[in-house]
Amino acid sequence: MLRESVRSAWCETWFRAKHYIKPVWLKDNRLVHSGKKIISFVMCKGGVGKTTTALLLAKRFRQVGKKVLVIDADPQGNLTASFSLPRINVLVNDKTPVLSDIIARKCPLHDAIIHVGKGLDLIPSTGMNSLLDRRLEQVPDPIFEMKRILSLVRSDYHYVIIDVAPALNLVNASIIYASELVILPVTLDEYSRQGLMQTLSEIEDLQSRFNFKNEVRILVNMYSQNKLSLLYLGLVVETMTDKVLRSAIRYSLQIKNMISTQTDLLSQRQSMAKLDYSQLANEVITLTGPNIEAPCG
Ligand SMILES: Nc1ncnc2c1ncn2[C@@H]1O[C@H](COP(=O)(O)OP(=O)(O)OP(=O)(O)O)[C@@H](O)[C@H]1O
Ligand SMILES: [Mg+2]
């Protein structure tokens, strides 16, 4: 009897979870005309897809005519490398100005921007960004520093997308403070769920200590409909329904291999990744508002 009722509770959770993620392509009617444009991808757990999602969302925004600045704030420099232009490897070396140089006032922000494609700029990262926290500790108001820096480029772009290292450190706190939308990518497993709870509690703590409110959303990445994934999806959706984005990115070998194979997934006529990222971009555009303010350059 008990087994039966446990089983039916599980089934119910799966059922709800399965139907929570909207099949692609459904339009979300919410419209928030708030013009949020600073978006960061944050999660203290590694390997959940922060960099991949930051990259593909930026590329999708560019495809639909948005002008985007991407900032790599992770000393691993994966986002920088993933632009996979042979040109980038030439341009980026230990002397290339990165975020930590901007914070240390060694380089003006605009000098660190590299143009990587039509409508797409990048502030790259190198190992020098491992000094980010130490540099921040030396400025007068570390938490407000990223907001100050980003105010210098805010009107030049429709969106500024920031990829961070898997950590809860000072620089990520400053980036969270500066972000109008914080996206927390999660995969559907136990470690990722724990990372999500930790990251969310850190964000709530920051919000209350520094008295600010920004949009925080959870993005399910590497989604697949196996039983365990659906169970974890159920747990996440049940406890944080209003925070979970309706778009999910499905597990795709094409995404997994896109850097090694140098495939531009979003330029293909039809791919699962393109479908998922189009849906995600639409949802984010809806959430952030129309961004009617025209960039000046
Ligand atoms: N939807 C997906 N389907 C399949 N593989 C994916 C998907 N999203 C990301 N990956 C793969 O998962 C791995 C980790 O992704 P990624 O580097 O973006 O994570 P991350 O959160 O930025 O990691 P880190 O915290 O180390 O910076 C990569 O090999 C990437 O190709
Ligand atoms: Mg990364």
- What are the tens digits of pLDDT across the range 34-48? 478 999 999 999 999
Q: Higher model confidence: residue 268 or residue 72? A: 72
**What is the pTM for the complete model shown?**
0.88
Cα–ligand 1 centroid distance for 263 (angstroms): 15
Per-residue confidence (pLDDT) for residue 153, from 0 to 100: 93
**Closest C-alpha residue for ligand 1 atom 6:** 256
Q: Which ligand is nearest to the CA of 56?
A: 1
Look at residues 47, 53, 55 and name the one whose alpha carbon lies nearest to residue 84.
Answer: 55
Lowest mean pLDDT among 8-17, 70-79, 257-266, 272-281: 8-17
Percent of the chain scoring above 90 in pLDDT = 69
pLDDT tens-digit profile of 154-195? 999 999 999 999 999 999 999 999 999 999 999 999 999 999
pLDDT tens-digit profile of 203-237? 999 999 999 999 999 999 999 989 898 889 888 88
- The whole-number average pLDDT for the span 73-100 is 85
Lowest mean pLDDT among 56-65, 145-154, 266-275, 284-293: 284-293
Look at residues 148, 143, 133, 144 and name the one whose alpha carbon lies nearest to residue 100.
Answer: 133
- Ligand 1 pocket test target in 52, 82, 125, 161 with most atoms within 8 Å of CB: 52
Per-residue confidence (pLDDT) for residue 84, from 0 to 100: 62
Q: Higher model confidence: residue 31 or residue 160? A: 160
Cα–ligand 1 centroid distance for 32 (angstroms): 30
Strands ordered across the beta sheet of 181-186: 114-117, 120-123, 68-72, 159-163, 38-41, 181-186, 215-223, 244-250
Q: Which domains does the chain have, with CATH numbers?
A: 30-226+244-288 (3.40.50.300)
Look at residues 176, 179, 177 and name the one whose alpha carbon lies nearest to residue 43.
Answer: 176
Cβ–ligand 1 distance for 80 under 6 Å, the answer: no
| 53 touches 41 (CB < 8 A) | yes
Q: Cα(120)–Cα(71) distance, rounded to whole angstroms?
A: 11
Half-sphere exposure of 228 (CA within 13 A, CB side): 6
Would you place residue 4 in the very low, low, confident or very high pLDDT band (cuts 50, 70, 90)?
Answer: low
Does 28 score more than 70 pLDDT? no
Output the average pLDDT for the chain. Answer: 87
Per-residue confidence (pLDDT) for residue 89, from 0 to 100: 67
pLDDT tens-digit profile of 88-137? 666 788 889 999 999 999 999 999 999 999 999 999 999 999 999 999 99
